[in-house]
Amino acid sequence: MLAAADFEVGQVATYKLRLAFGPWIERMRTPEVQVAAIRSLQQRATVEVRNHFRIEDDGSFTIDTALILARKAMRDI
């Protein structure tokens, strides 16, 4: 997609980002009904999903993230 938008990709870094549940739902201003739905989904998640997202007892979890350094392609005129 970046190439299609005329960008050249330089560096790509991937890492895991832990999100503490309480501060995350506060920051997102998540309504209580949605908080309950998230917790329900977390509790019913398969072992594979719980392990991948490292879901903790308090609802905190870890997501896969990427940082992409790209610049607008320089084209000959």
pLDDT digits (tens, 9 = 90+) for 53-69: 999 999 999 999 999 99
Helix (H, G, I), strand (E, B) or coil at 27: helix
59: closest CA among 30, 3, 13, 5? 30
For residue 10, is pLDDT > 70?
yes
Q: What is the pTM of this model?
A: 0.78
Rounded to whole angstroms, how far apart are CA atoms 28 and 25? Answer: 5
Domain extent listing, the chain: 16-69
State what percent of residues in the chain have pLDDT above 90: 92
Rounded to whole angstroms, how far apart are CA atoms 11 and 68? Answer: 6
